[in-house]
Structure 1
Amino acid sequence: MRIFKLLFLSLLLFSFSSSQPKTITILHTNDMHASFIPKEATWSKKEPKPMVGGMNELFFMSDSIKKVKTCLMFDAGDVMTGNPITEYKYQNAFGGALFEMMNRVGYDAWCFGNHDLDAGQENLLAITKIVHFPILSSNVVNDKNDFPLNNKPYTIIEKGGLKIGIIGVMSQFLYNLVNESNLKGIKVLSPSETVQKYVDELDPKTDLLIALTHEGTDDDSILAENVHGLDVIVGGHSHTRLTKPLKINDVIIVQAGANCENLGELELTVENDKVTDYKGKLLTLWYRDDRPKNELSNFIDSVKTVIDKDYSEVIAELKSDWRRTNGENNVGNFICDAQKEIAQADVAFTNSHGIRKDVLAGPLTKKELFEVLPFQNMMTTFQLSGKQLQEVVEYIINKKPAVQLSGIKCVYTKSKDEIEIDKLEINGKKIDEDKMYICTASDFFVGEADRYIGVKPNNVITSNTTVFKAVEQYVRQMKVIDSQIEHRIEQDK
């Protein structure tokens, strides 16, 4: 009888403790883009502009929270691309030093983003050997057997008396975002169907289910609508500063902007397998110069010293700001002019979203130019007939893709839905429909030519020179740069 009473009491206590609300705090970042050191907060209204961000500030902020709360820390992809650090190998991986910094900050899981594949799949494999946390991706799979890349679709972490399932998710549009040569042998499955599959598998084993995604808030909202049983989406890709969480279909959605400027903090109360309360906010990582030195800051300093030695050189003078305005812009014009000159082509194209930074007038360093063009895209040449180029111009006028160009001058009139081209010249001469013109663009652009220019390039030749190197060569030749908007395609009023 006494044994029965003790057993009953034990079961009662277990039932009581398991049903008690438990609190877990999710710390999250996304789209850091190699921003490992503080930089000027150009968006601040204060003068002089304060400094913000960097891995060391991220460490101090997250560590202060971890000391007083039960926490897990996640990153939602695009650690790579944006700073020359990704040009340097650390433990056999380009950009590997960034992931060593993440180890020291103390991450618990990461889903890779599209830019984390910019250096190829082998580089991602090398990164897996550096990190001390799982790399998650459920819907990027081997195209032969459907095994998830890195064979890690999810992980389960026990923390604060909770079992938490985390599922990694990639944008379904990966093939539009990464150079096709870096995606050989893999395919992307439907995010909603794949996540539902793993939610169904994990739900009986866990108290809380989180999707760690790199697809943007719009697609996160669709995921929340379509998947049943998911609790939280920690997102990336769209660089959205969600100062307060979204809630769609009872799914909480968070995202923390970009460039290591913010740390997201989401506090969850979980009871009986449900989130019963939540509070979310963004913490701006303002730089402080009174931080004590530590192992991480010493490591950051050593990496920065190497980069500064190679990239601090002033290579030209900008007479006017480089601004990435909508439509034609002066930095896009200059980049296309540079590509055309170095490739000795008639026409050059570049995609506007590949231009990643504005630069103020004044001395232009190699580092700043790299931050404008941080991708390892290769220069290509290809041929288009005059007739095809006319189709390209009409496509650009009608579809308005995010494209910059050089070598083309067009004036057109528009009435209702009809376009009439009044003037179309290639380098000052009337276009010849039968002539084959030499064009140049990046290999990424050529792979997405249908989307950007609406025609298929002929006789594509890929060089062994990156677009950055080609533009750097042209910048050094110019020395003084005063690029302007020239209305290369304009509507006659």
Structure 2
Amino acid sequence: MISRREFLQASVAASALYGISGFGNWGKLAAQQALTQDDLLKFDTFGNLSIVHITDIHAHLKPIWFREPEWNVGVGDVKGKPPHVVGNDFIKMFNLQPGSPEAYALTYQDFVALGKEYGQMGGMDRVATVVKAIKADRPDAILLDGGDTWHGSMTSHLTKGQDMVNVMNALGVDAMTSHWEWTFGTDRVMEIVDNLPFPFLGQNIFDSMWDEPAEFPDYTWFERGGAKVAVIGQAFPYMPIANPGWMFPEFSFGIRDQRMQQMVDEVRGQGADLVVVLSHNGFDVDRQMASRVNGIDVILTGHTHDALPEPVIVG
């Protein structure tokens, strides 16, 4: 029987699209001038379970130019701690090869020159290729969407998010949480959610009139690879501050870490081998939540666009 520690190791390693999309091989392959698609799609499988996490697409169907910020350096206690490390400091901290695809994707260093060499990043056709390759090797992999998916491009504006909904349905998403999705308004969100083939999670979404949990599932279950996995959803907590509240007056949000603890305890009591939080809190908020809530194995964070080549351990 695999141990809980081994479950955790397998989940952490497989949950970052960075690792499973072949980034881990890029430095060596670049040095060998052998950057073929087949090589880039290789990833090391171990443990019983793979989790694929996609977040903050912002409705960009096609590849884009994306330059990491220079000034996400942090202040006070978080200064110099991931994700508040940039440029050469980031490259040194994570032992990346300067000029490699990893360095191009994850830092601003030499962006113009490397952009000419490597080109644009992203694109849902590329994401689909990666997911297909993973599922060819691990057909029971869990695919999770961290939100900020339906909204953010001209095509999503014209279709009220339907273009992205269609793509994510075709991709085979197993569950999602939310943020900018709500700026289409309550009626449109509910219209989409009612027709999704997977759960729209949010343990922190409340009915604003009654101040009680709304009708969205708090969590969902998967039994994959011999593991009983609970995925708890955490929508963006600061909705009325960051986005106009009149678009979704029926709902309130918030971090609600005490209720998160209740959810974790509940799924543990039901026999969860692995507890995953699919969150749109943002990195620093999730790090703080991890220090306050006991029993979470993995937080798949979103919102702040902080891609890291390895997980950050809390506690």
* 2:144 alignment partner AA: F
Structure with bigger RCO (C-alpha 8 Å, 6+ apart): 2
Q: Which deviates more, 20-29 or 121-130?
A: 20-29
1:171 Cα shift?
3.3
In structure 2, the partner of 1:119 is 184
- Residue correspondence of structure 1 range 125-274 to structure 2 within 5 A: 125-205=190-270, 206-249=272-315
CA apart distance, 1:124: 0.9
Q: Against the structure 1 CA distance between its residues 150 and 36, is the aligned structure 2 distance closer, same or farther, given a 3 Å change threshold?
A: farther
Give the match's secondary structure for 2:306: coil
3-state SS of 1:32 partner: coil
Aligned to 2:55: 30
- Report the 3-state secondary structure (helix = DSSP H, G, I; strand = E; otherwise coil) of the residue aligned with 1:67: helix
Contact preservation (8 Å) 2:237, 2:281:
yes
Offset at residue 48 of structure 1 (A):
5.8
Quote the residue 1:458 is aligned against: none
Q: Could you tell me which amino acid in structure 1 is paired with residue 155 of structure 2?
A: I
Alignment of 1:420-439 (within 5 A): none
Looking at secondary structure, tell me which structure has more helix per residue: 2
Which whole-Å CA distance do the structure 2 matches of 1:17 and 1:101 have between them?
Answer: 35
Q: CA deviation at 1:175?
A: 1.6
CA distance in 2, matches of 1:63, 1:88: 28
TM-score (norm 1): 0.44
Which residue of 2 is the match for residue 55 of structure 1? 124
Secondary structure (helix, strand or coil) at the match of 2:221 reads strand
Amino acid at match of 1:79: T
What is the Cα deviation at residue 172 of structure 1? Answer: 2.9
Which deviations, in whole Å up to 9, do the C-alpha atoms of 1:451-474 show, x marking residues without a partner? xxxxxxxxxxxxxxxxxxxxxxxx
SS in 1 for 2:144: strand
* In the alignment, structure 1 residue 73 sits paired with structure 2 residue 143: yes
Aligned equivalent of 1:467: none
Q: 2:163 aligns with which of 78, 92, 97?
A: 97
Report the 3-state secondary structure (helix = DSSP H, G, I; strand = E; otherwise coil) of the residue aligned with 2:232: strand
Percent of aligned pairs with the same amino acid = 26
- Partners of 1:73 and 1:227 lie apart in 2 by 24
Code of the residue aligned with 2:161 in structure 1: it is G
Question: Per-residue deviation at 1:119?
Answer: 1.1
SS in 2 for 1:51: coil
Does 2:87 align with 1:87? no
| Contact 1:33–1:82 (CA under 8 A) maintained in structure 2 | yes
Residue 472 (structure 1) aligns with? none
CA distance in 1, matches of 2:48, 2:236: 30
Asked if the contact 1:213/1:233 (under 8 Å) is kept, the reply is yes
SS of the aligned residue for 1:118 comes to helix
Which one-letter code corresponds to 1:55 in the other structure?
A: M
- Does structure 2 retain, via aligned residues, the 8 Å contact 1:40–1:49? no
Q: Measured at CA, do residues 147 and 156 of structure 1 come closer, stay the same or move farther in structure 2, by a change above 3 Å?
A: farther
Q: Post-superposition shift, 1:106?
A: 1.3
**Distance across 1 between alignment mates of 2:61 and 2:224:** 28
Checking the alignment, whether the CA contact within 8 Å between 1:100 and 1:131 is kept in structure 2 is no
Deviation string 1:400-421 (CA, Å, 9 cap, x unpaired) is: xxxxxxxxxxxxxxxxxxxxxx
Give the whole-Å Cα distance in 2 for the aligned partners of 1:37 and 1:148: 37
Give yes or no for contact 2:277–2:296 (8 Å, CA) kept in 1: yes
Distance 2:66 2:155 in 1: 21
Instruction: Judge conservation of contact 1:108–1:133 (CA < 8 Å) in 2.
Output: yes
Cα deviation 1:377-433 (Å, max 9, x = unaligned)? xxxxxxxxxxxxxxxxxxxxxxxxxxxxxxxxxxxxxxxxxxxxxxxxxxxxxxxxx
Contact 1:41 1:50 in 2 (8 A): no
Q: Give the aligned partner of residue 78 of structure 2.
A: none
Q: TM-score, normalised by structure 2?
A: 0.67
Does the aligned pair in 2 maintain the 1:191–1:223 contact within 8 Å? no
Classify the secondary structure of the residue corresponding to 2:262: helix
Give the C-alpha shift of residue 26 in structure 1.
1.1
Question: Take 2:247 and 2:241, find their aligned partners in 1: how far apart are those partners?
Answer: 12
Aligned residues: 229
**Alpha-carbon separation, structure 2, partners of 1:190 and 1:48:** 42
